[in-house]
Amino acid sequence: MIIVLATANQNKVIELTNLLPQDIELKSLKEIGITTEIPETGSTLRENAFLKASFVKNHLKKQNLNYPVLSDDSGLEVEALGNEPGVNSAIYAGIPKDDQANNQKLLNELKKVTKRQATFKTVICYIDAEVHYFEGHVNGTISYEARGQNGFGYDPLFIPQGYRSTFAELSQEIKNSLSHRAQAIKAFLSYIKSE
């Protein structure tokens, strides 16, 4: 089976490749000729996941290709900030996207805050003959400083429940065993197996 991954984020491509079984052949946006950024103008993770997957599905249709498409939209909800940055996680510190600036802004916003609970969420949109959504989340807390070199995005600040280390300090294997993305992929795989 072939699936097109509707993401230009190489870090997501790596994680999704590790999370999906090897008998699924993944095609990148580049391989199907998409080099422009796909607009993410939705007001929810679900809307943005749909925008990305449907953009790619329409592009494929024009080439008479019928591959299914999978997209991932993720966001970090911080309780003390009224669940911000949420759907705006990628551009929290402004445009263009800058992971380090986002992390710095989050640390500044939480400077005097001791209640640091947060949830990382992923919505996967999968379009075959129909549109399907699969969701995953992981609870945790926000650290007081950036720690660790692994992963990407907010990983240096996110400490999953039950651990003392941030995602960026944990191995990719551990992150992939409990992350928001791993949970969403698990739900996706049970759909694929039922087909």
Interacting residues toward ligand IMP by CB under 6 A: 9, 73-75, 89-90, 99, 102, 151-155, 167, 179, 181
How buried is 121 (Cβ within 10 angstroms: 0-12 exposed, 13-18 middle, 19+ buried)? buried
- Would you call 73 a catalytic residue per the annotation? yes
Indicate the residue type of 163.
Y
Supply the minimum distance, in Å, between the C-beta of residue 75 and ligand IMP.
6
Q: In this structure, how many other beta carbons lie within 10 angstroms of the beta carbon of residue 113?
A: 12
Question: The tokens 């007081």 sit on which residue?
Answer: 144
Identify the active-site residue in 23, 72, 73, 155: 73
Supply the minimum distance, in Å, between the C-beta of residue 61 and ligand IMP.
24
Please give the helix or strand (H or E) that residue 158 lies within, else none.
strand 158-160
Supply the minimum distance, in Å, between the C-beta of residue 73 and ligand IMP.
4
DSSP H stretches of helix in 8-140: 10-19, 45-62, 99-109
Decide whether 64 or 92 has the Cβ nearer to ligand IMP.
Answer: 92
| Widest pairwise Cα distance in the chain | 55
Decide whether 63 or 100 has the Cβ nearer to ligand IMP.
Answer: 100
Decide whether 24 or 182 has the Cβ nearer to ligand IMP.
Answer: 182
**What are the residue numbers of the active site?**
73
